[in-house]
Amino acid sequence: MNTTPKQPAGGKKRDRALYARLVESYHADRVGIFVDFDRLNSPRSPLWNAWENVGPLLIVFIGSLTLMFALDLILGTAVMVLGVLFYLFIIRPWIAQRVYRRAIAAATENLHNWNLLWKLGGLVLTLNFMNKTRCVSPDGDWRAFVTRYLPEMEVDGAEAYHAFNRIGRGDDMEDGKAGKGGRDKDETRLQDIHM
């Protein structure tokens, strides 16, 4: 029996609207999303890739041990030291960049992924025009941040701009039919992060 309280339907609709506004603001470069690498690159994170983190270290370790026993102890030790430095200064930043890309792609894909990563504490929202204004997960309330700092503004020509974007994406044609590769507007996609 499921004892978790259900969120009211109005709350889910409001969350989807706030999330859509957040993603739109991110793509318009009004909001920055930063990733906490240490929190999201851990075994309990859905973005963590074991082979990406352990594989390079295994290669360095096995390669240096092979050189130690096959050729020379000093040569194997030198290869291990150089391998560790290579891991720290080349491989680790490469892993951080990959985790950042996966996190941003997953967080901006759908609301389910956003909420999952927010609960892990791996995301930080900032306003690009005010760097000191930020919302840090999991303690910060991203809904309040979006409501307060990203209000819906009615601007002359905004409807024409949004219609142009929908046609450009193939979501909606002028005759009301879905365009090439388009989806219904009300279709919800709740997917787990598969990396």
Total number of domains constituting the chain: 1
In a domain, 78, yes or no: yes
In a domain, 173, yes or no: no
In a domain, 158, yes or no: no
In a domain, 101, yes or no: yes
Q: Which residue segment(s) compose the domain that 63 sits in?
A: 28-148
DSSP string for 57-120? HHHHHHHHHHHHHHT-HHHHHHHHHHHHHHIIIIIHHHHHHHHHHHHHHHHTT-HHHHHHHHHH
- With 0-12 / 13-18 / 19 or more C-beta atoms within 10 angstroms meaning exposed / middle / buried, residue 114 is buried
What is d(CA 59, CA 132) in angstroms, rounded to the nearest whole number? 42
- Asked whether the predicted pLDDT for residue 64 surpasses 70, the reply is yes
**Integer distance in angstroms from the first to the last C-alpha of the chain?**
31
In a domain, 20, yes or no: no
- Asked whether the predicted pLDDT for residue 49 surpasses 70, the reply is yes
Give pTM, 2 decimals.
0.67
DSSP state of 40: H
Q: Say whether 162 sits in a helix, a strand or coil.
A: helix
In a domain, 176, yes or no: no
Summarised one tens digit per residue, pLDDT across range 79-134 is 999 999 999 999 999 999 999 999 999 999 989 989 999 998 889 999 888 777 88
In a domain, 62, yes or no: yes
In a domain, 138, yes or no: yes
Q: What is the mean pLDDT of residues 169-183?
A: 49
